[in-house]
């Protein structure tokens, strides 16, 4: 059994050339309407054993850059000009851009010299082949190993990426793995032939922060162990600050700034980089709008009081005895990792689910109190006018067959409040309120960007003058520069309309920026509730402490991993019936 750590070091470079040199790369997509340049005159190089982070917002061309290197650009994209020089240990250089994308030469580079891992580990692994099958494939192909050798090697690889019980895990399928394990398996697969360069395309975006931290640690450990270079693509400046040696900032296919990580974060030259860093740092503190507000009246009667709410799906306790209250005008954050039950909580409040047990006392404007968990029919309909929701996915939550004015006006129409000209005026006013140009109201959602669509979703939520808005990961799908604009909009509307928010998010930065109080959820239970400042900076519960410790700080000078730890549930609670 060979081990990545014990493998003989590759012969030292005879020259001091970088491992990979990209010069004036242009990648184009011929479209019906003309040619779209996804990557425009891009030059950078990667040194052996170093990490280059390519950062940029969606549509910046960072993924296309990575795929150009291996010539696996999705059709109809192609490299139009430029060169991608791979300097090999024997001193020769290979221009990858000149190779035939289907030819033998580039295929022998793929997986052997340069390997790649992707964003969504579930869909990046075949659903009908075992993990072992997919790992051994590369070994058999490039290293010409026998079946038995490849299997032993694959088990050893799985062990190195810390998959428990690798002898068994090798014969299991991707869907039987957890998200973090899948990405570990992908890494094992990519590292199978000990590549000189690992390209990682947003490898941790789909993972929880604690899992992300572990995967990042794993990559950097393996990288050190055999001097592999890493090209890391991400949109998360926190991750960049933690792992990068050099940073390439991309925007609309063009390199905005390219330099050492220290320079990018502490003396950025380019205005776009400054804006990007600025919007990240902005989320490190309280929003200005909130600082200007008078303190919240904590003596007021709660608008919504949730008592012992439980929601079970069969055996699974998605919500387990949760109690929390919401004051008028307050922003209550609900934070937790995937599967913690935070979305179930939002949906139960909206009565999209019928809770298994518990009470939700909602105080109406006239002072009467109703239990949202019990009501039905007309009462529920009336309550839903006052409780509205903003969803995560700005693409999926708008009907593509309805114009924006139809989307926003629908609640008014359905409830018989306005029609015709009056409806049109209301829609125009709402669009102005959320910062959209009313003259675009006859367009369909596809004509709008992600941030604009989320504004449409918000306009739809406030049409009926609600009192509570449940925002379920409302800014997760948005780029950082857009994210705080939407958050600011939500807070401005809160001041104008006197709204209370229940703000569900996995992003502590967003919570810190936006929320007055925070509830932390873990496996269906609310483990900690407190002031946002306190929970984000000095949490009491060990789970919250672990969660906070795993968040990558957007400062390359602050790379202390030693304080990071993973929360394990005390065994007493684990044996209890409530744990799962």
Partner 1 sequence: MLKFIVKRLFWMIPSLFAVSFLAFVLIQLPPGDFVTTYIATLASSNEVVDQNTAAQLRERFGLDQPMLVQYLKWVWGIVTHGDFGISFEWQQPVSGLIWERMALTLVLALASLIATWALALPIGVYSAVKKYSIGDYAFTAFTFFGLSIPSFLLALVLMYVAAVEFGQDVGGLFSSQYETAPWSIGKMYDLLTHLWLPVAILAVSSTASLIRVMRANMLDELPKPYVTTARAKGLSEFRLLVKYPLRIALNPFISTIAWLLPNLISGSVVVAIVLNLPTAAPLLLQSLMAQDMYLAGAFVLLICALTLIGSLISDILLALVDPRIRLE
Read off the tokens for 86.
Answer: 């791979």
Taking CB under 8 A as the rule, which mask of x and - marks residues 28-67 in contact with partner 1?
---------------------------------------x
Among 5, 30, 58, 72, binds partner 1 (CB under 8 A): 72
To the nearest whole angstrom, how small is the minimum distance from the Cβ of residue 107 to partner 1? 5
- As a whole number of angstroms, the distance between CA 331 and CA 494 comes to 9
Q: Does 115 bind partner 1 (CB under 8 A)?
A: yes
Q: Does 387 bind partner 1 (CB under 8 A)?
A: no
Among 52, 138, 469, 508, binds partner 1 (CB under 8 A): 138
330 Cβ neighbours under 8 A, 6+ residues apart:
296, 303, 500, 501, 516, 517
Q: Does 176 bind partner 1 (CB under 8 A)?
A: yes
Of 69-77, 241-249, 343-351, 484-492: span binding partner 1 (CB under 8 A):
69-77
CB 275 within 8 A of CB 318: no
Q: Does 215 bind partner 1 (CB under 8 A)?
A: no
Q: Which is nearer to partner 1, 136 or 344 (CB)?
A: 136
CB 343 within 8 A of CB 355: no
User: Count residues contacting partner 1 (CB under 8 A)?
Assistant: 34
381 Cβ neighbours under 8 A, 6+ residues apart:
none
Q: Does 116 bind partner 1 (CB under 8 A)?
A: yes
Q: Does 315 bind partner 1 (CB under 8 A)?
A: no
Among 109, 131, 228, 462, binds partner 1 (CB under 8 A): 109
From residue 503, alpha-carbon distances to 23, 48, 286, 287, 289 in Å are 45, 44, 15, 15, 17
Give, for 304, the enclosing helix (H) or strand (E): strand 304-313
Q: Tokens 């891992």 sit at which residue? A: 117
How many beta carbons lie within 10 A of that of residue 419, not counting itself? Answer: 12
Among 189, 206, 241, 480, binds partner 1 (CB under 8 A): 189
| DSSP type of residue 206 | T
Contacts (CB under 8 A) with partner 1, residues 142-161: 142
Q: Which is nearer to partner 1, 125 or 322 (CB)?
A: 125
Contacts (CB under 8 A) with partner 1, residues 89-108: 102, 107-108
Would you report the helix, strand and coil content of the chain in percent, each value rounded to 5? 40, 25, 40
Among 80, 94, 141, 289, binds partner 1 (CB under 8 A): 141
Q: Tokens 């990071």 sit at which residue? A: 564
Among 47, 120, 424, 555, binds partner 1 (CB under 8 A): 120
CB 512 within 8 A of CB 534: no
To the nearest whole angstrom, how small is the minimum distance from the Cβ of residue 395 to partner 1? 17
| DSSP type of residue 173 | B
User: Residue numbers of the site for partner 1 (CB under 8 A)?
Assistant: 67, 70, 72, 74, 102, 107-112, 115-116, 118-120, 123-130, 134, 137-138, 141-142, 173, 175-176, 186, 189
């Amino acid at each position: 059994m060979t081990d990545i750590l014990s493998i003989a070091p590759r012969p030292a470079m005879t020259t001091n050339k970088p491992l990979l040199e990209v010069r004036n790369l242009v990648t184009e997509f011929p479209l019906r309407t003309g040619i779209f340049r996804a990557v425009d005159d891009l030059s950078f190089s990667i040194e052996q054993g170093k990490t280059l982070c390519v950062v940029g917002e969606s549509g910046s061309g960072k993924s296309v850059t990575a795929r150009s290197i291996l010539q696996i650009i999705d059709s109809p994209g192609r490299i139009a000009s430029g060169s991608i020089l791979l300097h090999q240990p024997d001193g020769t250089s290979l221009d990858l851009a000149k190779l035939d994308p289907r030819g033998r030469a580039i295929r022998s580079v793929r997986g052997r010299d340069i390997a790649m891992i992707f964003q969504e580990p579930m869909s990046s692994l075949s659903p009908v082949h075992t993990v072992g099958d997919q790992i051994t494939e590369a070994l058999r192909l490039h290293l010409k190993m026998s079946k038995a050798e490849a299997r032993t090697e694959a088990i050893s690889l799985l062990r190195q990426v810390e998959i428990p019980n690798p002898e068994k895990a090798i014969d299991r399928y991707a869907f039987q793995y957890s998200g973090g394990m899948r990405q570990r398996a992908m890494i094992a697969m990519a590292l199978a032939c000990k590549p000189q360069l690992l390209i990682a395309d947003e490898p941790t975006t789909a993972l929880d922060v604690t899992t992300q931290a572990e995967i990042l640690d794993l990559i950097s450990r393996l990288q050190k162990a055999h001097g592999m270079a890493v090209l890391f693509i991400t949109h998360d400046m926190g991750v960049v600050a933690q792992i990068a040696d050099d940073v390439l900032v991309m925007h609309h296919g063009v390199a905005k700034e390219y330099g050492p990580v220290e320079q990018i974060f502490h003396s950025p030259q380019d205005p776009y980089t400054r804006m990007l860093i600025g919007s990240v740092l902005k989320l490190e503190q309280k929003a200005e709008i909130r600082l200007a507000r008078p303190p919240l009246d904590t003596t007021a009667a709660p608008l919504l009081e949730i008592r012992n709410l439980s929601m079970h799906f069969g055996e699974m306790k998605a919500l387990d005895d949760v109690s929390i209250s919401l004051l008028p005008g307050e922003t209550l954050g609900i934070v937790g990792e995937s599967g913690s039950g935070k979305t179930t909580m939002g949906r139960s409040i909206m009565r999209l689910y019928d809770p298994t047990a518990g009470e939700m006392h909602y105080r109406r404007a006239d002072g009467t109190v109703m239990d949202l968990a019990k009501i039905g029919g007309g009462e529920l309909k009336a309550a839903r006018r006052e409780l509205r929701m903003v969803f995560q996915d700005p693409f999926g939550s708008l009907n593509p067959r309805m114009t924006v004015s139809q989307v926003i006006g629908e609640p008014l129409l359905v409830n018989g409040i306005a029609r015709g000209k009056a409806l049109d005026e209301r829609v125009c006013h709402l669009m102005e309120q959320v910062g959209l140009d009313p003259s675009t109201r006859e367009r369909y959602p596809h004509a709008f960007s992600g941030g604009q669509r989320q504004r449409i979703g918000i306009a739809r939520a406030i049409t009926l003058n609600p009192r509570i808005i449940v925002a379920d990961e409302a800014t997760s799908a948005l780029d950082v520069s857009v994210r705080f604009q939407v958050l600011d909009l939500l807070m401005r509307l809160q001041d104008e309309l006197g709204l209370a928010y229940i703000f569900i998010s996995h992003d502590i930065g967003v919570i810190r920026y936006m929320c007055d109080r925070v509830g932390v959820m873990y496996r269906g239970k609310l483990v900690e509730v407190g002031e946002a400042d306190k929970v984000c900076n000095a949490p009491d519960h060990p789970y919250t402490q672990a969660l906070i410790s795993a968040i990558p700080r957007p400062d390359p000078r602050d790379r202390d991993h030693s304080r990071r730890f993973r929360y394990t549930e005390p065994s007493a609670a684990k044996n209890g019936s409530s744990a799962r």
